[in-house]
Amino acid sequence: MKSADNTFSVEKAEESSGFLLWQVTNCWQRAIKKALEPFDLTHSQFVLLASIHWLRLQEQEVTQIVLSTHTKIDPMTTSTVLRTLQKKGFVGRQEHATDTRAKTVELTEAGKKVVKKAVVAVEKFDHSFFATLGKGTAAFNGHLLALLKVNNGDR
């Protein structure tokens, strides 16, 4: 028998977009963690390494704030993770040439080597994970982009 309490606006948990996103995100994060284990990288470390590589391939100067904005990782966490990557020998940081408050970030040779291998593994994993969507992948990505555009991580 159903309770008379109508706290929720949905009748079934699977009608809640937020709850579904939470569940899929947790499944995806558990699996991506396993995919990154051979590289001794956390997902945040991978995202920052891959973003540095991506932005440099786009011929952009990479600073910590550029990385934070690109990845939607808050600036303090970005700095902390970059320090760890620097200790691992994957990135180098130096003072910006014109902005004394900024630090530029570059991949070391070891960083380039590990990120190139990790990107292949992550792309293979993502392809497999999202294969269920088939031809709907582009629409799914469009919906995610629409959510990002409207919310911009500020809520």
Instruction: Please give the chain's pLDDT, 155 residues, in tens.
Output: 566 777 878 778 887 888 999 999 999 999 999 999 999 999 999 999 999 999 999 988 999 999 999 999 999 999 999 999 999 999 998 887 777 777 899 999 999 999 999 999 999 999 999 999 999 999 999 999 999 889 875 54
Q: How far is CA 84 from the centre of its chain?
A: 17
Closest C-alpha to 49, from 124, 113, 121, 111: 111
Decide: 71 and 105 in contact? Cβ < 8 Å.
no
Decide: 78 and 71 in contact? Cβ < 8 Å.
yes
Residues 6+ apart with CB under 8 A from 67: 48, 51, 52, 55, 73, 78, 82, 105
Position 85 scores a pLDDT of: 98
Position 2 scores a pLDDT of: 65
Which runs of E-coded beta strand occur in 20-112? 91-95, 103-107
Rounded to whole angstroms, what are the CA distances from 11 to 3, 16, 135? 11, 9, 30
The span from the CA of 90 to the CA of 107, in Å, is: 6
Closest C-alpha to 82, from 106, 54, 60, 110: 106
Residues 6+ apart with CB under 8 A from 137: 130
